[in-house]
Amino acid sequence: MEQCLMHLLFPQWQGAGDLPALAQGARRLAQLAPDILWQEVPLTASEGLTVQDGIVGRAPLLRQFEAVLDLLVVQQPTQLFTLGGDCAVELAPIAALNMHYGPELTLVWLDAHGDLNTPVSSPSGTFHGMPLRHLLGEGDPEVVKPCHPLCAPRKWFWPACVSLIHPNRHTWTPKAGSLYRRRL
């Protein structure tokens, strides 16, 4: 199989709430690597970040998630480097790579938090705290559906997860295997 590396610039900011400066920050970081051909995902117009089904900015987030998935299905990268704005930009790239690699995909999740909220359990409703839970098959059905096949929990590693913020400590346990979680 021929290796295809894609450099994806996804300056999404809506997953963190009303922080459009995150998009500018992502673009500035991309400018630090002028020799890289970045494929930028166009952002959808935000008609205001309303809360829908427990998610702040759900409508633009869903449109952008679908746009990235469509792009990755067409391009079919075997390797992907994503530079993004908020902490939810990894949802579509990981879902696409999981579609490509299936059970062979192993993911190292480097984040200080578990990102295991659902729209029901999230204290803020911001999606940047929800992507891993959705990739594991729980949360907003419209987000979970395109993530199939779901990622197997036994293939995820959290080498630096500092904390599972309340309420995740009480509402989530791995369904298959276990996650490696070690504080550094």
Catalogue all structural domains in the chain, each as residue range(s) with its CATH number.
5-181 (3.40.800.10)
pTM listed for this prediction? 0.83
Residue 126 tokens read as 């911001």
Q: Where are the alpha helices (DSSP H) in the chain?
A: 21-31, 58-75, 91-101, 131-135, 141-144, 168-171
Predicted local distance difference test score (pLDDT) of residue 89: 92
Residue-wise DSSP of 88-130: TTTHHHHHHHHHHHGGG--EE---SB-----TTT-SS--GGG-
Instruction: Convert the pLDDT of each residue in 39-80 to its tens digit.
Output: 999 998 766 799 999 999 999 999 999 999 999 989 989 889
Q: Average pLDDT in the 130-152 region?
A: 85
Query: What's the CA gap between 23 and 138, in Å, rounded?
Result: 27
Q: Average pLDDT in the 144-173 region?
A: 63
Query: What's the CA gap between 41 and 13, in Å, rounded?
Result: 12
User: Is the pLDDT reported for residue 154 higher than 70?
Assistant: no
Query: What's the CA gap between 60 and 66, in Å, rounded?
Result: 10
Query: What's the CA gap between 42 and 48, in Å, rounded?
Result: 17
